[in-house]
Amino acid sequence: MQRAFVLSTALLIAPLIAQATTLQPFAGSGSAPAAPWQVIGLPAQSKPFTHFSVVELDGQHALRVEADSSYGNLVHPLQLASPPHHLAWSWRLDEPNPDADLHLRQGDDIALKVCTLWDLPLEQVPFFERQLLRAARSRTDEHLPAATVCYVWDAHLPAGSVLPSPFTRRLRYMVLRSGTDPLHQWQHERRDIVADFMKLFGDETHELPPLIGVAVGADADNTHRHSLGHAAELQLEP
């Protein structure tokens, strides 16, 4: 149970660089994403990592996100007690995962996601999940958020679907794009992350916790399939 909990919530935040107050671009001097963006996996991960690289696509720098029976997230640490209300970005899905099913553990893979990571106080987490979270945190020197909202591009679920991870309610999904949206075309999003957090975690708190990170990711370790997507222009806005 603890391993499943860590696997499904492994959006870790490195403590030494968690002081950023705004999102930095993906692009650096080469194809690797620039700091403070960092690839984060599971503690002592043995499975392949999802591959992240910066490429030129349609005249702009974009983050290429490729999962191949893999797991991983590209995380930007933040420390925002009063975060801006909106997160904007562009993304496109090039290859979906046909076997993904977010209702089931064996299908809990996402071809493309953008996530907000929140430092919900432990005392506001339900008792059983609180104990699992404490145990998971004890296994790493990095910080494991108590609440994560992931905006998802899914091959099957209709846009507007909201559901928890089948592993843990510490991670909750909001589907923004689905199989009805065209592939290989940029789509633009602007979400009120404060309202979305309260919609998904308002059953546990009436106060907004600090925003401690933003992540982009994909995984295909449960279905052992392949997916490909791109993201660009992530910005926090008032």
Confidence check: pLDDT of 187 > 60: yes
Mean pLDDT of 179-195: 97
**Looking up tokens 């910066």, which residue turns up?**
54
pLDDT, residue 228, reads: 98
CA distance 97 to 228: 9
Q: Is the peptide bond before 77 cis (omega within 30 degrees of 0)?
A: no
- Residue 141 confidence (pLDDT) above 90: no
Q: Are 228 and 52 in contact, with CB atoms under 8 Å apart?
A: no
Question: What global pTM score does this model have?
Answer: 0.93
Distance separating alpha carbons of residues 8 and 136, to the nearest angstrom: 11
CA distance 116 to 150: 6
pLDDT one-digit tens code per residue, 22-47: 899 999 888 999 999 999 988 778 99
Q: How many CB atoms lie within 10 A of CB 64?
A: 18
Q: Which domains, ranges and CATH numbers included, belong to the chain? A: 2-237 (2.60.120)
CA–CA separation, 122 vs 115, rounded Å?
20
> What is the widest separation between alpha-carbon atoms in the chain?
50
**Which tens digit of pLDDT belongs to each residue from 66-104?**
999 999 999 999 999 999 999 999 999 999 999 999 999
